[in-house]
Each structure stands twice: as structure tokens, then as C-alpha cells.
């Protein structure tokens, strides 16, 4: 837990307010209480209010009554700050001149001299964040990893003078960081997302651009125009461009090789980072770790030992030449397209609660699918799409049946020399809520099914 006593000195005993008691809000509440603040909290959920009360916070409806002497308001990132309209608690704080912050801003103010690496972008943030943390830890660095991913910022341990905080940052969190700029900042990409919360794509891009500035190191893709413009305008002291397509970038990938001046890193053999989108994550992690002082060899060692994120294109097991890949996190067409683009000879398990009847991005890679096994509410729409592209498919209905049938079919094709290896890929392109509590549970059931399979079926 981060010690906030140095912050407390500046507020002469004034209370802090926390609105929204999710993971980060509750962590902020505990950190503030442990540092001696009086903490006023509010959340629509009574159980969360009671939990905060048990820690020692005071329940106070901040939307209707916020004390004028409140030191600052820690706002949950899911609460609208500007669009589609400021939340009433935001209006209340602004009318009283009370500063509105995130837990990450408080971390920065408590530990201003600790090195930070910040990662943002529409896609790939979590993998890049986890990858950087893994490489640094493997190289012997003291590291805490979290923010928008996993551990909330104020739950970090003190990493000391030589440690590093690796922080995933959403656009919402960046809006709530008035002074924080990571020492090494990464912007991966910008595609339309959360537009209602930022008043459109320009507002969204502006929020992302806040990661740069104050003389820091800026690592940025130049593969989309928004990022390219942001990097050009950044006030950072050092700018490092990365690209999957432009060999004029400082760091680029061509033919599965990362190029950095005279340095080269071969990417094809890295087991848990397949596909072009992961090559972008690798470039960003490589650039950040080099900027943090690591050697190329230390980075390569970390890349090869990276276990992957749970439920994100993670290899579970290989049986009889069949690799089972858990990509349960792929809950939409775009995410599944990335998985399909990463493999060949695919026995695809898909379906669930559909977000739309069409799958235009995934369809670009349907020629890689040998057979599809369709489950859940979205199975009929997916079957229609498969048949449009002449993809053989089976209405498996439930995940267990899909896994076992996919294994049986893939093994038969290998034995009949129709293919020498295969990938059974769970990448549903749909939400999980029709049959599971969340995508994590869906992925765990897939893993359990795979682990139930024998190492070798008897020859038929």
C-alpha cells in the first residue's frame, strides 16, 4: 500500500472524498485512511458503502453535499467527467473549486521520484503492460505492475529508489491525471472507442495524448494518423516511433524481424506473442525496456519466457500435434480477427451472446479455418457467415461438446495426413453472458476441458 503521508501534510487535516467504490476506489479509500486522512465516500451500491465504512470511512452522499474544505475528490474512472454530461458529483466539486483526481495521480504525488512506464492505446494495453513488467522482473528489476490492469495504483508496494512502476492507463484515467506524465510513455494505437465519453474521436485522441509531455520519453506507433499527429506534437524530450509497415520508423518489424538500427530480434519463435498486433506490443515493450536501461539480450530472454495473459491467445496445451489456444477475451469481431490472423489450420470455437449478426473482420481470415464449432445464442448467425464463405461448421451448442469434437476432428485430419498440425482456437467473437458469468469463466471451462483430454487417444 502506498504511503500518502507526504500528501497529507499539504492539506492541514482536511478530509478527502472518494466517489465510486470499485477496485481502485476501495484501494484509494484504504490508502487514504492508513495515511491518516478522514475519508468521505459514496457509491450507489450499499454493500460497497458498508465495506468502506468497515474500513473506517464515513458514508456521505457527495452528490448532494460535499464539504467546502474537501482536500480533493478521487473519482472512479467510470464516472463521466465531461461527456455526455458531467456527473453531478463532478459539477459539485467543480463549483467548489475542489480538485478531481485519480488514484494514479495520487501515486505520482506520493512517489514523484520513482521511475514510471505508462501504457495507453485502444488495443494491446494489457498485453504490453504485462510484457514490460515481465521483462523487467526477469532482468532483476523491482517492479509493480497495474493501474487499469490488475493491481490498482495505491495498492502497489514501495519499489525503492531503483524500482519501476509499470502502469496501464485508460483514457478515463488520463483525464484525471493533471500533473502525472510517465517517465517513459507509450501510445500503441487509436481507433474509435468510448466516443460518448469524450465527445467524439478527437476528444478521445486528445485524452490519449495526455500521456506525453514534460520532457519524458515518448514511444508511439505511426501506423494510424491520430498517433502520428500526436507524436509530432508531443513535448517529450525523446521520441521513438514504432511501426508494423513503415521502415522509416526508429523501430519497425519486417518479415517477422524487429529492426532497431543495427539490432535485430527474431520474432517468429516467441511462443506466446503471435500475430501482427503482438508484434506491435513487442516493439513497444522493447523500446520501453531499452529506454529503462536493459540490454537486447535481457529483452529477448524476457520475450521468450513471457507466459502470456490469461484468456488472450494463450496456449493451454499441445496434444498429438494439436495446440489448444484460449482467447476467451475476444468478445467481438475485431478481437477474433486478430486471433484468426495469427494461426493456420484452425478448428475454431466461436459463439455466445452476439454483438451483431455480421463478422466482416473475422471473415477476412476464414480461409484459415478447417472447421468451426458454434455455441450459444450467436451460433445461428455465425453459421450463416460460415456458410457464406464455405466454412464447414457444426452447431455444438455448448463449449464442452465443441472442445471434444474439435479435438476428435483435428486428430482424424492429422492421422489421415490432411494436415501435419492443428490449432483448436477458442476465440468466440461474442460476449459470454448467455452461458457463463464472464469471459474468464468461459476460458477456465475451456482449460478444464482441454486438461481432461488424454495425452494420446488409442489409434482408431
Pairing relation of β-strands 100-101 and 73-75? parallel
Domains of the chain: 5-101 (3.40.50.720), 104-305 (3.40.1190.10), 314-452 (3.90.190.20)
Distance in angstroms (rounded) separating the CA atoms of residues 223 and 56: 49
Using one digit for the tens of pLDDT, what is the confidence trace for 154-176? 999 999 989 999 999 998 899 99
The CA-based diameter of the chain, rounded to the nearest angstrom, is 79
**Cβ atoms within 10 Å, residue 13:** 10
With b for 16 or more beta-carbon neighbours within 10 A and e for fewer, the 17-37 pattern comes to bbbbbeebbbbbbbbbbbbeb
| Res 458 pLDDT > 50 | no
Backbone dihedral angles phi then psi of residue 207, each to the nearest 5 degrees: -60, -45
In whole angstroms, what is the distance from residue 428 CA to residue 441 CA? 13
CA angle in degrees (0–180, nearest 5) for 207-117-180 = 50
Sort strands 369-375 and 422-426 into parallel, antiparallel or unpaired. unpaired
pLDDT digits (tens, 9 = 90+) for 347-358: 999 999 987 778
Least confident of 68-72, 305-309, 342-346, 408-412: 305-309
pTM of the model: 0.83
Tell me how far apart the alpha carbons of residues 129 and 157 are, in angstroms, rounded to a whole number: 17
The tens digit of pLDDT for each residue in 177-228 reads 999 999 999 999 988 656 676 678 888 888 899 999 888 999 999 999 999 9
CA distance 16 to 101: 11
Q: Distance (Å, rounded) from C-alpha 279 to C-alpha 284?
A: 9
Distance CA 409, CA 345 (A): 12
Beta pairing, strands 393-397 & 100-101: unpaired
Q: Kindly state the DSSP code that residue 363 receives in the 8-state scheme.
A: H
Amino acid at each position: 500500500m502506498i504511503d500518502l503521508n507526504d500528501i497529507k501534510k499539504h492539506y492541514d487535516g482536511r478530509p478527502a472524498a472518494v466517489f465510486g467504490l470499485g477496485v481502485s476506489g476501495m484501494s484509494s479509500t484504504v490508502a487514504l485512511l492508513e495515511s491518516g486522512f478522514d475519508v468521505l465516500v459514496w457509491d450507489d451500491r450499499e454493500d460497497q458503502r458498508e465495506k468502506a465504512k468497515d474500513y473506517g470511512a464515513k458514508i456521505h452522499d457527495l452528490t448532494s453535499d460535499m464539504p467546502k474544505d474537501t482536500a480533493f475528490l478521487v473519482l472512479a474512472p467510470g464516472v463521466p467527467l465531461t461527456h455526455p454530461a458531467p456527473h453531478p458529483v463532478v459539477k459539485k466539486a467543480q463549483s467548489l473549486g475542489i480538485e478531481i483526481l485519480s488514484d494514479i495521480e495520487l501515486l505520482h504525488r506520493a512517489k514523484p521520484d520513482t521511475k514510471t512506464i505508462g501504457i495507453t492505446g485502444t488495443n494491446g494495453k494489457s498485453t504490453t503492460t504485462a510484457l514490460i513488467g515481465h521483462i523487467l522482473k526477469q532482468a532483476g528489476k523491482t517492479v509493480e505492475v497495474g493501474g487499469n490492469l490488475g493491481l490498482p495504483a495505491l495498492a502497489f508496494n514501495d519499489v525503492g529508489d531503483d524500482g519501476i512502476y509499470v502502469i496501464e492507463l485508460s483514457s478515463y484515467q488520463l483525464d484525471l491525471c493533471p500533473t502525472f506524465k510517465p517517465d517513459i510513455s507509450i501510445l500503441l494505437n487509436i481507433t474509435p472507442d468510448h466516443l460518448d465519453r469524450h465527445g467524439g474521436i478527437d476528444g478521445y485522441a486528445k485524452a490519449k495524448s495526455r500521456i506525453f509531455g514534460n520532457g519524458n520519453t515518448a514511444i508511439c506507433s505511426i501506423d494510424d494518423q491520430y498517433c502520428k499527429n500526436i507524436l509530432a506534437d508531443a513535448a517529450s524530450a525523446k521520441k521513438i516511433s514504432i511501426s508494423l509497415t513503415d521502415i522509416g520508423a526508429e523501430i519497425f518489424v519486417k518479415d517477422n524481424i524487429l529492426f532497431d538500427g543495427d539490432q535485430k530480434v527474431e520474432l517468429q519463435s516467441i511462443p506466446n506473442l503471435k500475430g501482427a498486433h503482438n508484434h506491435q506490443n513487442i516493439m513497444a515493450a522493447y523500446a520501453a525496456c531499452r529506454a529503462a536501461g536493459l540490454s537486447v539480450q535481457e529483452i529477448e530472454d524476457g520475450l521468450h519466457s513471457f507466459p502470456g495473459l490469461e484468456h488472450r491467445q494463450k496456449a493451454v496445451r499441445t496434444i498429438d500435434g494439436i495446440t489448444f489456444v484460449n482467447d476467451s477475451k475476444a468478445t467481438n469481431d475485431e478481437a477474433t480477427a486478430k486471433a484468426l490472423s495469427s494461426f493456420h489450420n484452425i478448428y475454431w470455437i466461436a459463439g455466445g451472446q452476439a454483438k451483431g449478426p455480421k463478422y466482416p473482420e473475422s471473415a477476412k481470415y476464414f480461409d484459415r479455418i478447417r472447421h468451426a464449432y458454434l455455441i450459444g445464442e450467436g451460433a445461428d448467425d455465425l453459421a450463416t457467415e460460415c456458410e457464406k464463405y464455405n466454412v464447414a461448421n457444426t452447431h455444438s451448442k455448448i463449449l464442452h461438446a465443441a472442445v471434444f469434437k474439435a479435438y476428435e476432428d483435428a486428430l482424424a485430419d492429422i492421422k489421415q495426413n490432411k494436415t501435419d498440425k492443428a490449432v483448436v482456437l477458442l476465440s468466440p467473437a461474442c460476449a459470454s453472458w448467455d452461458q457463463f458469468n464472464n469471459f474468464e469463466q468461459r476460458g477456465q471451462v475451456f482449460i478444464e476441458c482441454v486438461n481432461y483430454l488424454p495425452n494420446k487417444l488409442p489409434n482408431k
